[in-house]
Structure 1
Amino acid sequence: MPETGLMDKIKPSDVENSRMQPSNKTHAYVLKTDCKEVLKVAFLKTHKTGGTTVMNVIQRFGHVRNLVFALPRSTNYLGFGETVTPNAILPAPKGQSYDLLINHVVYNRHAFRQIMPKETVYVTIIRHPMEQFLSAIEYLKGKLGYLKKLPENNSASAFLRNASYYETKDHKWSFTNNRMSFDLGLDHTLYHDAAKVKQFIRDIDQDFKLVMITEYMDESLLLLKKYLCWSFRDILYIPRNVNIKKVRYNFTSEERKAHRTWAKADYELYDYFLFKFKKLVDMEGSRFTQELRVFKTMLLSVRKFCVSGQYRHRWLKINKTTWNEEFEVTGKDCEYMLLEEVPFLQRTRTQYIRKLRRYGTSPWIVHRFNPAKIRRPTIVRRPIMHQQPTVNRRKYSRSFNRARLRRPR
């Protein structure tokens, strides 16, 4: 149970009445439902939380259905350290709107609603702040400038003992200071403002239908399946971007306390949504536990089939259960699940640009949402001056000296 803060005000009835609770018309435990498959989803991908795995799931869903992605023009970021802007995304085909948004970007309610349709469902994922911090340290300490100062051994402990020394002054580049809250839109100057943090969490709770928890990935995906009226085949996954050489730390109580103070906003965020997530799972009842067991068994079969390379020679048959019809996992399914983030994104972007051209839309058009607010550059007309051609004296001097050296004496 969380110690203090927003948690004290949450009751089971609040969770039941939350927007995160699906409609009574949707029942997860029968094959024929009257729910409609949700096609418009914005996934706010937070850093070092398992977001690449969820991104892969939603990206495959969009590929199969030929949906319209809000894709970055070049990198894998829709906005690095900032929210989405029109000049950062490829345009939608003529007469269509975006269906899916899945890349890294800082959340901003107004900016997102200018791009995504009003019926879009918002989901995100968060992780225990200490685990997120460790993942960032171990992954970035040899790559990111401000983390290169850390010692090779016990890097996380060294950082916690003197965080103000190691931490960067540029908040956009910080992956160790309340990064999850920053990705979800909290200004870096408000990390320790208790009232502002509580209001920020309420806003996220209002805007997002589901906040997934990394430590409960399978349960999170089952809830996603239910809320979006998807199928088992849609949420199959193989963990992506996993650190197989994870360093184990034995933190002292003082170091853990120091991190809780340092990442205060992230702890408030995590405690709130972890408590709420567990309540939501508890309310699903025993049938959810049975479905989870089936899903875990299915995942083991799929991972063994795909990772071993068997998909190159045959398909994997998944038998019918109480929660799914019979279906087959194909070689293409495995190929997509095994793709890393950047190659998959490059493939998606290439296919999407071809789609734009088929629809007669130039992929390089920049759609501006607020033309009235655009500042146009002032054109300064200068008189044409007739100048003598300038001589590169250094180059001329070198060539002259070389010629003089070659001259016979």
Structure 2
Amino acid sequence: MILTSAAISVFLVSYALIATERVHRVAAALGGVAGMTVIGLVDARTAFFNPDTGIDWNVIFLLFGMMVIVGVLKQTGLFEFLALWAARTSGGHPYRLLVLLVLVTSVVAPILDNVTCVLLVAPVTLSVCRQLGLSPMPYLVSLILAANLGGPSTLIADPPNIIIGSRAGLTFDDFLVHSLPLSVVLLVGYVVLARWLFRRHLTAPIDVENALGDLRPRDAITNMRLLVRCLVVLALVMVAFSLHTVLHLDPSVVAMMGAGATVLVSRTTPEEFLEEVEWGTLAFFMALFVLVGSLVEVGVIGEIGERAAAWMGERELLGATVLLFGSGVFGAFVDNIPYTTAMVPIVEDMVAATPHDGAESPLWWAFVWGADLGGNATAVAAGANVVVLGIAAKAGQPISFWGFTKYGVVVTTASLAVAWVYLYLRYFALA
């Protein structure tokens, strides 16, 4: 009991420091790990080798591999090309530009995972805002929110989907049939909601011709041969991501293979292809995994799940509702990947107590949607959030914890409400 209380206290203090930004988030997270080590919950085995309580190396190397690919692509001028294209296509209208970037994100996120998507689109967003003299905050926040809203759409769009799909036997096609329609509805709803959320930032149009002068998208490409080679590798990586279950390759392995191939075809030096790697973001993720793993170690997360299963009994709608909103709320405070890992065996027990299983179980889908959509609630709730805020800070355009969260909470609340209506109609009222 004393150890459990101590672990909860260390976690809450660390999270409070992250949320209030009294100290840098990496320092706060590493300090929390140090605290967990002092009370005896963290050692080399639990931190580095235990799949339940340690660092998820698949996520870390997925991020690292895609950061390397993005770093090489940046040298070709691709992001400046896309930024100029978006600027001219929008006609300088801030809201039209936001919608355009959301649409790009919603197309890319289901094909790649949402973290990879924001790695590719965030530099474009920063570049176009710089070209037009716009504050990047509403566009970067919208990029995160759109990526997470698109998270439920496919098996590979969000890491929790892969974890849940593997345990529940959910296929790529199952996600297209059951989950993609909800993502489409949510993304359309967000496009409308964003007009109100960022109404103070999306008013005055920009004179594109005056801002850009004679600059044309094609002028931004500095090395066409390198760009073609890198895009071929990226296309192969995307195909491999889509077929990773058939190829029996983890997404992290695909990303590392893609990073290696990109470095080989580009012939860049380590200093060049490592320049864009967000080392602080990777360190923050690793520390966060260990922090949450400590709560798993003392049984806090598992105890919550077990009590929920016992309370639900055979009341399937009640269980689905609790899973949807509970995952959304709980996932707002811890990264949704370790949370999903800890909860998935508990949900499996809950499903076993109901008449439905596999893709026909509303409990699995409620879990998927709650874990994915809850990722929008706070700045540290999902990988995409952490990555984009790290890129923004490195570019000299920092977005604070509360600067993101005040928008994220509104979108999360609305999206969970829509998800519940969809859940009720599809699996209960119209079943």
Q: Scaled by the length of structure 2, what TM-score is found? A: 0.23
- The structure number with the bigger radius of gyration is 1
Greater fraction of residues in strand = 1
Structure holding more helix per residue: 2
TM-score, scaled relative to structure 1: 0.24
